[in-house]
């Protein structure tokens, strides 16, 4: 199978911003680890990060027929982007929502995701391992 790991707004600064919340590994190093993990399990993976909502919508739309699953950490877009929600609802590719932090133990505005309803499932609170678990969910 072939997967897309999609990261949204501010995730490109993982390892540099709020290290106490998101850890010290950069997105690049996390992606390198994930690539090795996926390959070791006999699958393929691509990566894309954008701070631009429309680019994420396009990436989701263009995933149809190309990927078997998307792992999506939309960052703060999670909490208010109806555009990303509609993009997910508009494709047959299953999407697993991911968060590194336990959003329910943080500020109230993070407790609500407008994406979960249209996702296959949600994994949160396990740092970079949230991505591992989300990917694994596609082949377990
Ligand atoms: C996040 C949680 C969001 O609330 C936040 O805006 C992020 C990262 C996470 O991975 O824990 O940017 O999605």
Q: Residue 10 belongs to what domain range?
A: 2-139
Query: What's the CA gap between 12 and 82, in Å, rounded?
Result: 22
Ligand 1 site, residue 101, Cβ cutoff 6 A: yes
pLDDT for 81: 98
Taking the centre of ligand 1 as the mean of its atom positions, its distance from the CA of residue 2, in whole angstroms, is: 25
Contact 107, 76 (CB under 8 A): no
Closest residue CA from atom 7 of ligand 1: 75
Total number of domains constituting the chain: 1
Rounded to 5 degrees, what angle do the CA atoms 132, 133, 138 make? 100
- We report the CATH number of the domain holding residue 67 as 3.40.50.9100
pLDDT for 85: 98
Phi-psi region of 65 (alpha: psi -120 to 50; beta: other; left: phi over 0): left
Active-site residue, 67 included: no
Encode pLDDT of 111-135 as tens digits: 999 999 999 999 999 999 999 999 9
Encode pLDDT of 39-84 as tens digits: 999 999 999 999 999 999 999 999 999 999 999 999 999 999 999 9
Q: Per this entry, what is the length of the chain?
A: 140
């Amino acid at each position: 199978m072939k997967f897309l790991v999609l990261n949204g707004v501010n995730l490109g600064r993982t390892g540099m911003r709020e290290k106490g919340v998101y850890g010290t590994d950069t997105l690049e190093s996390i992606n390198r680890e994930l690539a090795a993990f996926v390959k070791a399990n006999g699958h393929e993976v691509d990566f894309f990060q954008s701070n631009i909502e429309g680019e994420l919508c396009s990436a989701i739309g263009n995933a149809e027929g190309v990927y078997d699953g998307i792992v999506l950490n939309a960052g703060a877009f999670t909490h208010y982007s109806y555009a990303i929600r509609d993009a997910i609802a508009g494709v047959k590719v299953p999407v697993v929502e991911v968060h590194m932090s336990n959003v329910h133990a943080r500020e109230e505005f993070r407790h609500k995701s407008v994406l979960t309803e249209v996702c296959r499932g949600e994994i949160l609170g396990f740092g970079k391992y949230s991505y591992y678990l989300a990917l694994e969910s596609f082949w377990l």
